Structure 1
Amino acid sequence: MTHAPIPGYHYDDPARPASPVSTGELEQLAAATLFTDADVAALKVAGEVLADQVEQILDVWYGFVGSHGHLLAYFSTPEGTPIGEYLGAVRRRFGQWITDTCTRPYDARWLAQQEEIALRHTAERKNATDGARSVPHVPLRYLIAFIHPITATMRPFLAAKGHPEAEVEAMHQAWFKAVTLQVALWSRPYANAAW
């Protein structure tokens, strides 16, 4: 089954610039989060478990964002009107991010994708992909704060297919580490030389 291309999603574009983060730095960061080959294996299983639940996961996450005006503001005009097309475009890429987190190798191409995601939260590239007339950046504090809801809300979905509790816990911990690892990478443009 082939899927329609996702606008603004260019993971496999060979012209994408490399990340300024080296694979050696990625290995060190992974070690700092206790991310191991066992987590990679658990994420592969998680990818299978979550494959047909992505829209329901996004419903939960978008419900959370939509219920907090100060978060919805980052998908709204400067005057505060939510931009439906922008929310929808980001949603499609967010769904693909779930799949990529579980299934893609954490290599140089993955690092390049993380850098692009990071920049799209900053004044350098926010709104550019979708031509949105929204606020100019997402503060780093919210990327960090989102680690918890993006992790805590995932557990029921990981448990939905009847895997043993130990396997669900392994998938959940792997997801937590992967999200933390990515948010650490997304902090690079904010911290710049201090990163």
Structure 2
Amino acid sequence: MDEVKEKQKIPGYDYGTDKVAKSPITLEEWEELKKSALFSEEDVVYLRMSEEILANQVDDLLKVWRGVIFDHPHLRAYDEDPKTHKVDTEYAGAVAKRFGRWVTDTARAKYDQAWLNYQYEIGLRHHRTKKNKTDHGHTLGHIRARDLLAFCSTIVVPMRPFLAKRGHPPDIVNRMYDAWWKSVILQATLWVQPYIREGDF
């Protein structure tokens, strides 16, 4: 399946389109952030390597991540209708598809303006600014910044065995794992911008 058709099958996946808000962060500021996180071109190489390894494991990763969400009421609430406490299955399903695509986007990121813009869009969709609007959801209208940031551990910690599935030497697996940590920390930094008072970010 070509890239365009793949994107069209994911509801609300607006990467690279004019539906996405423009990031207030410039490419120059992004370069500074990378330095703060010790994120290098070597990390990019190991992220690229991880794409092929993780490509056929995305559904299993989603089961782990979504499993944590549904096992904890304070996280599950973000997928529930606050009036009925039932999961908004259409909303949850649409979000899960984009979450799966995010794995690929992270591994192959070009770190250009379109990428920066989409990170900002992801943050807005977790914040009250745009929560529920993309999918016409009936869930809590805001994800707390503390849950967004803390969940990054749930994303990365379980990844090591997935990265090791192809039998790469432990030092290579560790380098891919470290690259994922740095990437997720950097992305989460960009995601929380809508939560922070203007001038403080």
Could you say which residue in structure 2 is the equivalent of 1:73?
77
* Separation of aligned partners in 2, 1:141 and 1:18: 24
Which whole-Å CA distance do the structure 1 matches of 2:21 and 2:130 have between them?
A: 14
Q: Match of 1:29, as an amino acid?
A: L
Indicate yes or no: 2:195 matched with 1:190.
Answer: yes
Residue range with higher mean Cα deviation, 152-161 or 4-13: 4-13
In structure 1, distance between residues paired with 2:126 and 2:21? 17
> Structure 1 CA distance, aligned partners of 2:131 and 2:169?
41
Q: Secondary structure at the match of 1:51?
A: helix
Number of the residue aligned with 1:139? 144
Q: Which consecutive unaligned segments of at least 5 residues does structure 2 have?
A: none
% same residue: 43
Match of 1:48 among 48, 52, 76: 52
Q: How many residues align?
A: 195
The residue number in structure 1 matching 2:159 is 154
- Distance in 1 between residues matched to 2:111 and 2:54, nearest whole Å: 19
Residue 179 (str. 1) matches residue 190 (str. 2): no
TM-score by length of 2: 0.94
Pick one of 169, 173, 178 that aligns with 1:164: 169
- Letter paired with 1:128: K
CA distance in 2, matches of 1:133, 1:140: 20
2-structure distance, mates of 1:148, 1:82: 24
| 1:104-146 Cα deviation digits (max 9, x unpaired) | 2011110000000000001110000000111110000011101
Q: Which residue of 1 aligns with 2:42?
A: 38
1:58 and 2:62 matched:
yes
RMSD over aligned CA atoms reads 1.1
Q: Tell me whether 1:97 sits opposite 2:96 in the alignment.
A: no
* Aligned mate of 1:115, from 112, 120, 125: 120
2:129 maps to which residue? 124
Deviation at 1:17, TM superposition (A): 3.7
Between the aligned partners of 2:25 and 2:165, the Cα distance in structure 1 is 36
Determine if contact 2:119/2:191 at 8 Å carries over to the other structure: yes
TM-score by length of 1: 0.97
Indicate the larger mover: 77-86 or 118-127. 77-86
TM superposition shift of 1:16: 3.4
CA distance in 2, matches of 1:16, 1:152: 30
Match of 2:24 in 1: 20
> How far apart are 1:5 and its partner, in Å?
2.1
SS of residue in 2 equivalent to 1:131: coil
Change (3 A) 1:119 1:17: closer
Displacement of 1:14 after TM fit? 4.5
Unaligned runs of 5+ residues in structure 1 are none
2: CA distance, partners of 1:37 / 1:139:
32
